[in-house]
Amino acid sequence: MKPAFSDADLERRRAASRRLGWLLAAVVLAIYIAGLFVKR
């Protein structure tokens, strides 16, 4: 039976996910902090 993803492949995908996850978290933080300086 061929598994959906090989172990190495799965690990590579998970690592890429973690990187992108942190990047998105950084974007969230950046928007939040920028928001505090908004002036109308």
Partner 1 sequence: MSTATTTHPAEHAVADYHGGWLRWITTTNHKDIGTMYMTFALVMFFVGGLMILGVRAELFQPGLQLMKPEFFNQLIGVHALIMIFGALMPAATGFANWMIPLMIGAPDMALPRLNNWGFWLLPPAAFLLTLPFTLALFGIGDGALATGWTFYAPLSVQGGMGVDFAILAVHILGISSIMGSINIIVTIFNMRAPGMTMMKLPLFAWGWLITAFLLIATLPVLAGAVTMLLTDRHFGTHFFDAAGGGDPILFQHLFWFFGHPEVYILLLPVWGLIPHVLSTFSRKPIYGHTAQIYSFIAIGLLSVVVWAHHILTSGLPLPALIYFMFSTMAISLPLAVLFFCWIATMWKGAMSFETPMLFAIGFIVLFGIAGLTGLVLADVAADAQYHHSYFVVAHFHYALFAGGIMGVMTGVYFWLPKWTGHMYSEKLGKLHFWLTVLSFNLTFMPQFFLGLAGMPRRIPDYALQFAEFNAISSIGAFILGFSQLIFAWNIWSCVRGGPKVDGRVWEGAEGLEWELSSPPPHHSWETQPVVK
Footprint of partner 1 (CB under 8 A)? 1-5, 7, 10-11, 13-14, 16-18, 20-21, 24-25, 27-29, 31-36, 38-40
- Shortest spacing between CB 31 and partner 1, in angstroms: 4
Q: For tokens 């090989």, what's the residue? A: 6
DSSP per position, 1-40 = ---SS-HHHHHHHHHHHHHHHHHHHHHHHHHHHHHTT---
- Shortest spacing between CB 34 and partner 1, in angstroms: 8
- Shortest spacing between CB 27 and partner 1, in angstroms: 6
